[in-house]
Amino acid sequence: MRELKNKLTTGKNTKNIQRRKGKSFGYQVLGFGSGTGVDLLSVEYLVVAGGGGANPSIYGGFAAGAGGFRTSVSGATSGGGASAEPPFEAEYGTSYTVTVGAGGPSQSTIGLSYTQQGASGKGVSSVFATVTSIGGGAGTYFQDDKDVDMNDGGSGGGGPDLGPPNPPTTAGQGTPGQGFRGGFNVVLGNGGGGGAGQVGLNGSFTPGGPVSAGDGGDGVQSAINGGAGTYYAGGGGGGLWSYGNPTPAQGGGVGGLGGGGNGASSFTPTTAQAGGQNTGGGGGGSSGAPVAPYMGKAGGSGIVIVRYADTVPDASATNGTKTTIPGYKVYTFTQSGSITFNK
């Protein structure tokens, strides 16, 4: 019997074995106590929030930050350089909510206040059960003496001019364990949005030389659904504003790997791109020209993916698509729904 037990509890799926907790008077206890037992299933997850939207400005547009990125896949990396989280311990028969956050919109009106732009442009958080990833920070223009918390998010939107009196903390900040901060504006080149895997890059300017906007920070690669892996949660590229300046310039900043949208440029001219759908990518920044082709763009929607051992029966999922990879059953949500794990 001991030999048989050892065989049953070893192998490739030991990280997803069913666990059992006892309940006694409303409290869960391990290994002792009276009452009925509750079987738990270890579920690995990827939860990516909606990316922020980049709003217009007469001074050029800061790029938007990517949505927060959280994962519990063993050996993987969460956003902001954090290690993978512990798997979620699901109770059989319980329905768990899945919310897929929308990308933040880009406003078409240049006269909105800083607060209106920031509030409207933030991405929407994504949720699996008790796991929440925060929506990406908006890309907004603001005066140097303003609070910039509206640019904060899972990853932060671009920030004000680099240098005194603007320390690095005044860029849009990312959420620890989910994403990085945005980059800074330098003269006419606006900073890129932060990504889940990298800080947004600063704009650059050399007197008599080229001006360039900052690229969006790269996202993080996940192989939760098999294969070589996919990048999610890239920051948007910053926009370039010409203002009649004859200085040579490159195009807008390039969006980060993982759905970040490219920034606009009135030098080239090129238009901005929206964040990729179901990637959590941030929207590309505007060039500052008050006409539609040069406006900033919306963020990309998020995604939720969960997986568990293929020895367990199929789950009951609403709006979740089932696939299989060696050792796992995988459920992917590109829109909100729910999932119940069956015994």
- Kindly state the DSSP code that residue 30 receives in the 8-state scheme: S
- pLDDT for position 72: 98
User: pTM for this structure?
Assistant: 0.85
Cβ-contact 284, 297 below 8 angstroms: yes
Residue 331: other Cβ atoms inside 10 A: 24
Cβ-contact 216, 253 below 8 angstroms: yes
Which CA distances in Å does 160 have to 11, 110, 211? 53, 18, 16
Closest by alpha carbon to 296, among 136, 102, 139, 117?
139
- pLDDT for position 251: 75
Cβ-contact 248, 210 below 8 angstroms: yes
Weakly modelled stretches of the chain, pLDDT under 50: 1-17, 21-36, 111, 114, 118, 143-147
Peptide bond into 269 cis (omega under 30): yes
Which CA distances in Å does 140 have to 105, 122, 274, 297? 12, 10, 15, 11
- pLDDT for position 32: 37
Residue 169: other Cβ atoms inside 10 A: 9
Tokens, residue 184:
């800074």
Tokens, residue 37:
């037992």
Cα 17 to the chain's mean position, in Å? Answer: 29
Q: Residue 196 — left, alpha, or beta (φ > 0 → left; ψ -120 to 50 → alpha)?
A: alpha
Residue 116: other Cβ atoms inside 10 A: 15
- pLDDT for position 309: 98
- pLDDT for position 112: 52
- pLDDT for position 15: 43
Tokens, residue 309:
């051992």
Peptide bond into 165 cis (omega under 30): yes
- Degrees (nearest 5) of the Cα angle 170, 184, 236? 110
User: Per residue in 100-149, pLDDT tens?
Assistant: 999 998 865 554 554 555 456 889 999 999 999 999 998 865 544 344 55
